[in-house]
Amino acid sequence: MTGWTIATALAAAEAAGPKVALRCEDRRATFAQLLARSERLAAGLSAAGAGPGDRIALLCRNSVESVELFLAAARLGAVLVPMEIGLRRLELGHLLREAGATWLFADWAGWDLAGGLEGIDEGLTLVAIGAELRTASGDPITAYEDLIGDGVDWSDFKAAPEEPLLLRFARAGSGLPRPSLHSHAEVLAGALRQMREFELGSDAVYVSAPGTCWALDPRDLSLAAWLGGATVELAPARRFHPAAHCGALAAAEASATVISPSQLRMMVSSGALAMAALDHLRVLCVGAPVRSRLLEDVAEQLPGCRLTQVYAPPGFAGAVASIGPEEAAARPGCSGRAAPGCELAILDGAGEPLPPGCVGEVACRDLADLSAEPEGNWLGTGDRGYLDSEGYLFVAERGAETILSGGLDVSLAEVEAILGEHDAVAEIALVAVPDDALGEASLAHVVTRPGQRLAPSLLAEYAQSRLAPHKVPLDWVLREEPLPRESCGRLEKRSLVAAGLDPQVA
């Protein structure tokens, strides 16, 4: 597929004819219908003044329209900027400015958030998806269906593979999310690796995980499934419930899905996994390595289920390493070997590869994109770890720890940065803790400034005013002594995790 863009790659799948490419709640769309509608949408956008390089923000639940808009942006040479439902207006405004968005597509759920943003940028054009929305002054917002145009001469629109297609906000390092731009070629390469490694052919049915927009998550397999001619079922955005998700997988006759270790634990402990007819399901588990006991429980409850763990650091187009159940059982704590088409390395402070067993920054490069400098092109992940003598990766410390709380991603570094702005907070550190209802939650260790007094209720109120509800810490530990640090000054979170298992909340 050298030289292909997303538009040309997906057009090849149209040979599947009337086969259903997308299921979303009670709606169905074939490959031919998706391509035809997205081309008409691209024509309407072009007529309305959108063009190559424009940033088109998407703030809606999983829907047929979200896929059409992605394909339309690809056809037009524009850049899709998927946004997370559940942000606060302050967060959304910051991300829209960082992205340089000139268009904002929102459904009714997204408009609950975006409704107070008119005037944020006079150049921001608003479009309503599936609802009659109005501004605060009562003016109607352009309807999505009104942008569905007629045919257009596509000879004027020839997006190159190296041109940008997706802008995602990656949570790498500390602080607020930063924009991460991905080209057609990069997104395609990641999807092709997923398609081949996880055997997503035309007979497969992939069911996305509830909670996030499919285009927002680089670990999602929707694009890989479409490239293989498979059917994708987009789960509606909702809090993760193990019984409901297992039931949805069984009803869809799913052959593949992506979940986190915490979600998998909830499915096993609730008994929902054993009760569902999912013996031939391929499960991709994304996040920290799955503990040996949980692997054994999955194998006992679903002997025919194949569980593959993947390592997908923030800022990358997809997974860069994976490991199967047999290998994982033999190597506890391992994140896997390099994914097909990728190469892993551990770099020292000067950016030079380290030998096996030495701890440094985990880095990756695409073997299909090496320049005349074959030793270069390493892209650091922000995580620290080591490779063993056989090339298996062990991550010792994550640069941007992310948890999945109620099915939604939460960057602990992002929350720390925002809560650290409180006048009475001297230091703050969040650690992940298990939670029966949410799968994972965060516990905040807070050191107050001398002479300042804080109550957990005041901290919670402050957090709720600045963060989406799913990002607010579940509990608070108030401390007078400084947070534990190593001799180099790096925060020692391991001791906080141990303390957090039985916190003494002030």
Which residues, 6 or more positions from 251, have their beta carbon under 8 angstroms from its beta carbon?
none
Alpha-carbon distance values, 94 to 84, 277, 422, 487 (Å)? 13, 44, 19, 36
Rounded to an integer, the average pLDDT of 394-400 is 76
CB of 123 within 8 A of CB of 54? no
The CATH code of the domain that includes 77 is: 3.40.50.980
**Residues 38 and 177 placed together within one structural domain of the fold:** yes
Are both 62 and 178 inside the same structural domain? Answer: yes
Per-residue pLDDT, 384? 86
Both 462 and 375 in one domain: the answer is: no
pLDDT digits (tens, 9 = 90+) for 465-481: 888 888 899 889 888 88
pLDDT at res. 293: 81
Overall size of the chain counted in residues:
506
Sign of CA dihedral 280, 329, 381, 444: positive
Express each pLDDT in 98-134 by its tens digit. 899 999 998 888 787 776 665 555 678 889 998 787 7
One domain for residues 50 and 162: yes
Does 356 share its domain with 422? Answer: no
Tell me: do 407 and 387 sit in the same domain: no
Closest CA to 413 of 438, 430, 433: 430
- Weakest mean pLDDT among 9-13, 72-76, 93-97: 9-13
For residue 356, being part of any structural domain is answered with: yes
Residue 386: give its domain's CATH number.
2.30.38.10
Whose tokens are 């999955």? That residue is 298
The residues pairing with 366 across neighbouring beta strands, listed in sequence order, are: 342
Least Cα distance to 95 among 81, 85, 109 occurs for 81
Give a yes or no: residue 122 inside a domain.
yes
Cα separation, 115 vs 440, in Å, equals 31
The per-residue pLDDT of the chain, averaged, comes to: 81
State residue 347's pLDDT score: 92
For residue 315, give both structure tokens: 């800022």
Inter-CA distances, 364 with 146, 239, 340, 346, Å: 44, 33, 12, 9
Residue 166 lies in a domain: yes
Does residue 488 sit in the same domain as residue 417? yes
* Single residue among 125, 153, 182 that ends a domain in this structure: 182
CATH classification of the domain holding 412: 3.30.300.30
**In a domain? residue 289:** no
Residues 410-450: pLDDT tens digits? 878 778 878 888 888 888 888 888 877 777 888 899 988 88
The answer on 45 and 140 residing in a single domain is yes
The conformational region for residue 51 under phi > 0 = left, psi -120 to 50 = alpha, else beta, is beta
Residue 37 resides in a domain: yes
- Residue 46 belongs to a domain: yes
Domain membership of residue 370 as a residue range: 341-400
Domain end, chosen from 182, 207, 226, is at 182
How would you label 375-395 residue by residue, b for 16+ Cβ within 10 Å and e otherwise?
eeebebbbbbbbbeeeebbbb
Task: For residue 323, give the nearest of 313, 306, 336 by alpha carbon.
Answer: 336
> Of the residues 400, 417, 440, which one is the last residue of a structural domain?
400
Most confident segment among 23-32, 365-374, 441-450: 23-32
Number of domains composing the chain: 3
Judgement on whether residues 36 and 158 belong to the same structural domain of the protein? yes
Residue 284: inside a domain, yes or no?
A: no
State whether 173 and 38 are in the same domain.
yes
**Is residue 473 in a domain?**
yes
pLDDT of residue 14: 62
501 exposure class (CB count in 10 Å sphere: 0-12, 13-18, 19+): exposed
Helices (H) and strands (E) in the chain, counts: 15, 25
173 pLDDT band, cuts 50/70/90, is very low
pLDDT band at 7 (very low <50, low <70, confident <90, very high): low
What digits encode the pLDDT tens for the residues 202-259?
Answer: 889 999 877 677 888 777 889 989 988 899 999 877 777 888 888 889 999 999 998 8
Q: Count of alpha carbons within 13 Å of 343, Cβ hemisphere only?
A: 14
Same domain, 407 and 392: no
8-state DSSP, 151: -
Q: Answer yes or no: do 456 and 357 share one domain.
A: no
Q: Who has greater pLDDT, 197 or 395?
A: 395
